[in-house]
Amino acid sequence: METKLKMIYWKSDKFWVGKLLEHPEIMTQGETLEELEENMRDAYRLMALDDVPDDHEIKDIALNV
């Protein structure tokens, strides 16, 4: 399953810094923009799959809000 999220990012003095608009609590950095993107993917996976066993299943569901 592919999840598309928006990352806001900027260049600080030494690093590229970014956070996810949908999850502003997830923030990371990288020496390059590519490293920032990979670190962001890792941070999201850690947040989304925290305490989920390796033999988990995924199912799409619909929500009416």
Contact predicate 40/20, CB 8 Å? yes
Q: Give residue 59's pLDDT.
A: 82
Angstrom distances, CA of residue 42 to CA of 13, 26, 48, 63, 64: 23, 10, 10, 27, 30
- Would strands 7-11 and 27-30 be described as parallel, antiparallel, or unpaired? unpaired
- Would strands 7-11 and 16-20 be described as parallel, antiparallel, or unpaired? antiparallel
> pLDDT tens for residues 11-48?
999 999 999 999 999 999 999 999 999 999 999 988 88
Q: Give residue 1's pLDDT.
A: 65
